[in-house]
Amino acid sequence: MTRATLDKQPHDVATMFDDVAERYDLTNDVLSLGQARLWRKEVAKAVDARPAQKVLDLAAGTATSSQPFAQAGAYVVPCDFSLGMLRVGKARHPWMPFTAGDGTRLPFKDDTFDAVTISFGLRNIQDTDAALRELYRVTKPGGRVVICEFSSPTWAPFRTVYTEYLMRALPPVARAVSSNPDAYVYLAESIRSWPDQPALAARLRETGWSKVAWRNLTGGVVALHRGFKQG
């Protein structure tokens, strides 16, 4: 079992996700108190995939997040650097074009996708700005990015309760339902150290994205950021 640390060495993070792949979706539903499904629906609305469009779902894991885009008729490529996640996903959805890839060096040509999206994966990539630049590179001019990531609750008293939940309640719950509880200690730490909504928006702008905006979900526990590649 692997315990990744906040320096986010790619091999450690990938191995950690390999370890939790089999029960990852179940564990997320339990730890998010059922909110994960709601968040996925909001991502699907924001991406607004259309028939025949090409969508890159980065950090797709087992492709649970990719299903709404496929159901909308888009050609979706689930991409992840955890081979364990990809294996579980391929067993569940053998028809999908699962692709192994590093978010800082994506295995796709420039200007390939109409939309690119990443849910709860950006903070696990060692170089956030490199990942944002790579997403920009593979997006067609006029295309869009949607990022769903844990963020900073907007109401201060709730923010305190939420932080306590992350660091105290999450590890014992993870021990009960996850195959690698230490992975969820790392995930809690990574959420606490992640930039807030305006800081992530600034990084999107700095890496080339325009018309950057965000919307809070569940009081800012999660934020959806959106941007466009100028045509």
Binding-site positions for S-adenosyl-L-methionine? 62, 80, 102-103, 119
Amino acid at 199: A
With contact defined as beta carbons under 8 Å apart, do 62 and 85 qualify? Answer: yes
| Known binding residues | 62, 80, 102-103, 119
> CB–CB of 108/47 below 8 Å?
no
3-state secondary structure of 224: strand
Distance (Å, whole) CA 207 – CA 171: 35
With vertex at residue 98, the alpha carbon angle to CA 181 and CA 224, rounded to the nearest 5 degrees, is: 65
- Exposed/middle/buried for residue 63 (C-beta within 10 Å: 0-12, 13-18, 19+): buried
Alpha carbons 139 and 145: distance in angstroms, whole number = 8
CA nearest 3: which of 193, 189, 166, 195? 189
130 contacts 122 by C-beta, under 8 angstroms: no
